[in-house]
A and B are shown apart, each in its own frame.
Chain A
Amino acid sequence: MTVETDPVCGMKVDTSKTKHKTIYKGRTYYFCSERCRKAFEEKPEYYLEHGPQGMP
């Protein structure tokens, strides 16, 4: 099991279980929910720069 941090809300996500993921600049990001994924896809640079901001 690999655990990664949701870049939007900061939750720990099991990469093998979540279906919410996206790819940005060649890197895969995992999310806890569809809402977080959509929020990230709208402003990826913002979240990568400022870090997790909590539930959108």
Chain B
Amino acid sequence: MVREKIKIIGIDCPTCVYAINKSLLKVIGFMKLEVDVSSGVAIIEYDNSLTNLNKIYEAIREAGYDAEKEIIEFTADFEAEQVKSIEEKILNARGIFDVKASPLSGTIRIALNPHSSEKEKLGEMLESIGIRKKETTKKEGGKEEGKAVLAKKLLAFSLGICVIALSMLGLGSSGGIPLLAIILLASIVQLLSLETLKRGLKSLIVGTPIMDSLIALSSTISFVFGLFFSILEPSPSISPVHPTSFFEASSGVLGFVGLGKYLEGRLRYRAASYLREIERTMEGKARVLRDGSLVEVEAKELKPNDIIEVKNGEKIPADGIVIEGKGYVNESAFTGESLPVFKTSERRDSVLAGTMLVSGYMKIRATRVGKDTSISHIAASAREAQLYKPRFQMMADRIVGRMTWAVIIIALSSFLAWFTYTHNISLSLIFTASVLAVTCPCPLGIAIPMVVSLGISNLARKGVIVRRGDVFERAKNATMVIFDKTGTLTKGKPKVAKFISLSNQNNIDFLSYVCSIEKKSEHILGEAILEFCAAKGIEKADEPSDFENFPGLGIVSRFNEEIFAVGSIELMKKMGAQIEESVYDEVSRIGRNGGTPILVYHNGRVWGIFEIHDELREEAKEIVDFFKKRGLKVGIASGDVEESVKNITEKVGADFFRASLRPEDKADLIREMESKGEKAVFVGDGVNDAVALGASFLGISTSKAADIAKEAGDVVLASDGLNGLKELFIVSNKVLKGAKENLIWAFLYNGVLIPVASGLLYPFFGIILMPHFAALSMVLSDITVILNSFRVLTVG
């Protein structure tokens, strides 16, 4: 039994504890929960032979809460085949909430319980399961190391080819100096590949064999028996396998695999290049105003509120506001749109780090610098997404973890079978070495994360930020898309068409209160009212003494004892306002015209109505058609009045709509649809629709890049407009297609070549797949699969 102290986030009443306990009771092995409601500190008891902290944590999250956690991320040396076992071993240690390992970047991310005493022992625990954290190497060092590794691998490959050529020419078959030369060359190849051999054998000893283990076994068996047969039997034997063939095998396997791994490494590097591109945008110098004069500092040394000078052709080093000058800014790093956008200090436009001032001159006041900039958040999201695994990747991880063991068993069985059948030890060993050399778990372990990573990078370049790796799978399985209306299907720049006064009082005085209230609102309809006030030259009244925002309904405010409310007709009803028939008629008329009525309450009655119109996005109909053609149902969920939502629904051709919804009602709608078996994608504003985004099967937020840090959603459309949605669904299809092809290729390749390598065709056709050719075909299959990933995501 384990007692673990954790801090649960989000608890504010005993009902929360009830909900968490209910969810935890579903976990087999959970025993007891005690919570201090005021602090959220909980003591959880569970049977660690039946469950672990990860399952407890998942249940807490399932109930809608979270636990305070500390994230530790580090790089380590491990292979795709070890991912499953690493994750399982770490998860079973105490105090671990979650673990994600990415073989592509060699990153392990651990979410641990900061309140657990086991945290201190993390290093020891990792050591005990054979994980060694890698020191971060400097860039220059990395390049030199890369060249040295390449030279070693190329030399091993060249010498391996020499051994194969000498052996195939028959040199060394009669012993003497040519045989000695072959032995010498083969020994050098072994030495040059010492790292692979050591790594492979070490992983085998600790019980988590990797591909290098198979290669090490194959080449060592070949080399040792080559030496053995050379000493005992230097002359040609009756066996189809000559002793030099063993050196041919050991050198060929190591040579081809070394080169293949180098090429694979290069391709992996290319796949992760977008993230490095982003990191590079944060490097360089910036000219900043310090003590009245411009000085040059490193971009990473910038501070919020610094005044930065940017000239044409220069990159903007921080997120900020233009306070002097103007110019055209290329924002393609965020939006994928290369057409420069005009920014000026007159409008106090905002600019983002990583974008480029194509022409003009400006001074900007930094608002977010370094790791707080939007581009840094995009990079963090993309990196995070790679750690979330699609279902098929989890399946592949399981297979890869067991595949190496299966191959060792097949190789051993093959040796025993052939030795029993032929009594020829050299022939039996060749088949064994071939089986070990031909097997390639790489397509399963690497190529799928690579397809996912390429998909994420491709979309990020087009302004679509994927925050979870399983988004592609979800997009493919979705059956319904529900759009928020205002700011999502519409442009989100509403304007007041007119104000309809329902009183005889002085409108200007009255509106001055309304404008003061709206000044405190963050809603885009509030901004429209403020613009209207500015255009009419209405002076704002004093600050309201009280202000309450009811999402989806409106605002209630107080000026001394005078109560005002601005919002929907629902809010008017909740205020207990006396609503005349003429008000209903007006509301209905505005809705039919596609507008939004915003009503104003004062002293128990409706005093006026704002008629607000927002233009439909040009691409809205096309996007709805796109989803309908793919067989998805399309709906609209809006807080607006029924007539207005109906009007938009008809214009874009959606299948259904729901109106007058509050944010929580939108989430209920999603749950209702899911209870009917639908898998609903929700597309909405990141801030107002956070609840619905969280409840949906796939949440897509339409926030602008600047808001990325704070909004919700599995995917964020950083560019203005909905075209990113199309890109997301097209790329998702490509990713899944690539992953499927790679899986089929991996299974087909191993399924066909393992029997051939084990000598199945030899009795019938005399075919022997020599170990080095087995290794060559393995390397080729590996490279083919990786190239296929690039092809799928770059063509068409």
Contacts and interface: CB of A to CB of B under 8 A. Distances in A.
A23 B574 contact: yes
Contacts of A9: 13, 15
A4 interface: no
B550 interface: yes
Nearest to B549: A21
A53 interface: no
B322 interface: no
A21 B16 contact: no
Interface in B560-604: 563, 571, 574-576, 604
Interface string B660-701: 000010000000000000000000000000000000000000
Contacts of B13: 9, 11, 32-33, 36
Given A11-B13, A35-B15, A26 B550 contact: no
A41 B576 CA distance: 14
A23 B16 contact: no
Interface in A16-46: 17-18, 21-26, 28, 32-36
Interface residues of A, number: 18
- Give the one of A22, A23, A25, A33 with max B CB within 10 A: A23
B575 A26 contact: yes
B296 interface: no
Contacts of B298: none
Dominant SS among interface residues on chain A? loop
Determine the interface band of chain B, counting residues with CB < 8 A from chain A.
10 to 19
A33 B548 CA distance: 18
A56 B15 CA distance: 9
A33 B664 CA distance: 13
B189 interface: no
Contacts of A11: 13-14
Given A26-B575, A28-B556, A55-B18, A21 B12 contact: no
A36 B19 CA distance: 13
A30 B14 CA distance: 16
B533 interface: no
Given A21-B550, A22-B574, A23-B571, A33 B12 contact: yes
B12 A23 contact: no
B6 interface: no
B568 to A, nearest CB: 12
B489 interface: no
Nearest to A41: B574
A12 B659 CA distance: 34
Contacts of A28: 548, 556
B555 to A, nearest CB: 11
B553 interface: yes
B692 to A, nearest CB: 14
Interface in B529-571: 548, 550, 553, 556, 563, 571
B339 to A, nearest CB: 40
Contacts of B563: 26
Contacts of B664: 34
Given A21-B548, A21-B550, A34-B664, A26 B12 contact: no
A25 B565 CA distance: 12
Contacts of A17: 12
Given A21-B550, A28-B548, A36 B576 contact: no
5 contacts: A9-B13, A9-B15, A32-B15, A36-B13, A55-B15
Given A11-B14, A18-B12, A28-B556, 20 more contacts: A9-B13, A9-B15, A17-B12, A21-B548, A23-B548, A23-B550, A23-B574, A23-B575, A24-B574, A25-B575, A26-B576, A26-B604, A32-B13, A33-B13, A33-B16, A34-B664, A35-B15, A36-B15, A55-B15, A55-B18
